[in-house]
Amino acid sequence: MRIEQTELADVLVLVPDPYRDERGLFTRTFDAVEFDTYLDMPGAAAAFQQDSQSRSAGGVIRGLHGRIGRGEAKLVRCAHGAVYDVLVDIRRGSPTFGRQQAFRLDDETFRHLYVPPGFLHGFQALTATADVCYRIDRPHDPAEDIGVAYDDPDLAIAWPLPVTVVSARDAAAGSWRQLLAAL
């Protein structure tokens, strides 16, 4: 597994090295020792406490979601299909505060993201079905949930496909300006 820096401070891309042959493939999607060694933080991988998975139809957008308080760190990967995954840095004082970056996550390369606390996260399913897996470092507390509308004009995220479905919660999310005023 290779670990790469991104344009956003502290966000990492984890790149497995699948073994492929006539049977198909095998890949290790996560290695705690390599992760901890890269971060120079023994035990960092052990902090992940919860695994979740979503399944989305093509064109569906989920997000942009985040958490206030201590936030949450997560590992995000697409186990089936492909997604256009977007992160927005909401950490005041960060050198990349307010910046966004998009990543393609899919079941061909198995690339996945390490997202530290303090980011909005959302994605759009690029294939007929996309399964996204999340490994999160603490239990979910709905009282800490925050969100920004996927179509916020100040963020102007260039979603690659026409939007097919957005949840009522995501459609009613506030604006980037409202979030900034609340931070």
- List, in order of start, the domains of the chain with CATH numbers: 49-182 (2.60.120.10)
Mean pLDDT by 10 residues, the chain (183 residues): 92 89 85 86 85 95 94 95 98 96 96 96 98 92 94 97 96 96 88
Q: Which amino acid is at 82?
A: A
**pLDDT computed for residue 96 by the predictor:** 98
Residues 6+ away with beta carbon under 8 Å from 39: none
Backbone φ/ψ region at 107: left (φ over 0), alpha (ψ -120 to 50), beta: alpha
**pLDDT computed for residue 49 by the predictor:** 85
Q: 174: burial class by Cβ within 10 Å (0-12, 13-18, 19+)? A: middle
Residues 6+ away with beta carbon under 8 Å from 149: 64, 170, 171, 173, 174, 175
Return the sign of the alpha-carbon dihedral for residues 147, 153, 154, 155.
positive
**CA–CA distance, 115 with 49 (Å, rounded to integer):** 15
Q: What is the pTM of this model?
A: 0.91
**pLDDT computed for residue 39 by the predictor:** 86
**pLDDT computed for residue 19 by the predictor:** 86
For residue 150, count other CB atoms closer than 10 A to its CB: 21
Q: Which residues carry out catalysis?
A: 65, 134
